[in-house]
Structure 1
Amino acid sequence: MSNSHFFAMISRMKYINRWGLMNNTFNENISEHSLQVAMFTHCLILMHNDKFGENLNADRGAVLGMYHDSSEIITGDLPTPIKYFNPEICDAYKKVENLAEERLLSLLPQSLRHYYDDILHYNEKDELLRKYVKAGDKISALTKCMEEIKVGNREFTDAFETTKKSLENMNMPVVDEFIKEFIPSFQLTLDKLE
């Protein structure tokens, strides 16, 4: 039996910093970001189930959130303004991400690949869950902007407004409720959180 390098590679998420074009007060890596996305996604799906009486799999949503940026171990974090600059760049980058996901899958033992293939690659059965992962991803970006602005870094002011508008445009009532319930606390000091 040969060794699998999958988790050694996944652990390198901590070396990939986000917000590369921005002047950051503190760095955020994709490992930290992915944990936050997983937690936000999990809660969003639980709120959805509670509100609509459904039974979406919040645990699976959290796992999809944990791995949603894993291809960036290979590709790096391409800043949003570049990634979405035009359709050609966006399509080309999706192909690069797909190749990176295939590379990660190749590092797994054959017996596990089909489980992770279902996590790393898009599939229609997870379409609604992935909408919540996307919302969790945007909420994570919103909180990063808020934390930077809170310490006086105006570099993130426009990103905050753009992200906030993007969340509003998702037209997801549960996302609006989550933001109302949980996000104002990110503006508070530690003493006020007690």
Structure 2
Amino acid sequence: MKSIVHKAGSFVAHMLRAKHINRWPLMNSLNTDSVSAHCYDVAVVAHRIAVYAQLNGKDVSPEAVATAAVFHEASEPGGFGDLPGPFKRATEALFKEIKALERTVEESMVDSLDEASRPYYDKYVVQAKVEPEIKKIVKAADEICALLKALGELNLGNNEYKIAAANQRITVDKWCEELPEAKLFVDNDLKFCMMTLDELIGN
């Protein structure tokens, strides 16, 4: 498929624009969360979850998982932007339409690369082509990071995130039931992610 939107060679330039897109756009946030910062956070968490998975005998590459996490929001800097979750999931039909549009953007971004490079990116950028086990881990990490964002806002006294935090806790609990490695992260690592710097370095 010939790229219509993305100029040849523009893939990296589009990805680097992720820092200009703010997440949670309709929420009154005290701390700004860009798409690039979010993808970094998800990559770190997803890599840790994948390490737990590998230590438990699963055939999954933490490096591949981290790479998939870096590119899991590629359609957003590709031009789609960040849409609020409740809006995207308002109806099944709307959700399918949005996913189809996201895939069009993802494929156009991959097509902007030279032909020899495309196989290195296609399996991570086009979400429908990401390996199922990798995609599960990235999604679990994505939801954990959303929980951390909501809890962080609550800790700052921002009640705008009260319902979001409660909903994210339920979602993360479901992922912990499905993925033992996600539960290991929540049990072992999550509490440290909520500590202050003084608490992290104190005795």
Per the normalisation by structure 1, the TM-score is 0.93
Counterpart of 1:131 in structure 2: which amino acid? Answer: K
- Count of aligned pairs: 192
* Other-structure match for 1:177: 184
Identity of aligned residues (%): 29
In the alignment, what sits opposite 2:53? 48
Deviates more, 1:173-182 or 1:118-127: 118-127
Paired position in structure 1 for 2:102: 97
Counterparts of 1:149 and 1:125 in 2: how far apart (Å)?
Answer: 33
Amino acid at match of 2:170: K
Query: Which is further off, 164-173 or 34-43?
Result: 164-173
* Pair 1:10 & 2:20 matched: no
TM-score by length of 2: 0.89
RMSD: 1.6
1:192 aligns with 2:199: yes
**Pairs within 5 Å for 1:41-190:** 41-51=46-56, 53-73=57-77, 74-122=79-127, 126-170=131-175, 171=177, 172-190=179-197
Q: CA deviation at 1:54?
A: 2.7
Gaps in structure 1 of 5+ consecutive residues: none
Q: What is the CA–CA distance in structure 1 between the aligned matches of 2:82 and 2:52, rounded to whole Å?
A: 30
Contact 2:51 2:62 in 1 (8 A): yes
Asked if the contact 1:150–1:187 (Cα under 8 Å) also holds between the matched residues in 2, the reply is no
Which runs of 4 or more aligned residues in structure 1 lie more than 3 Å from their structure 2 counterparts after TM superposition? 122-125
Measure the CA separation in 2 of the matches of 1:36 and 1:152: 22
- Verify the 8 A CA contact 1:41 1:136 in the aligned structure 2: yes
Give CA-to-partner distance per residue, 1:126-158, whole Å, 9 cap, x none. 101110000010011011111111111111111
Cα deviation for residue 174 of structure 1 reads 1.7
State the shift of 1:181 in Å.
1.2
Moved more, 135-144 or 179-188: 179-188
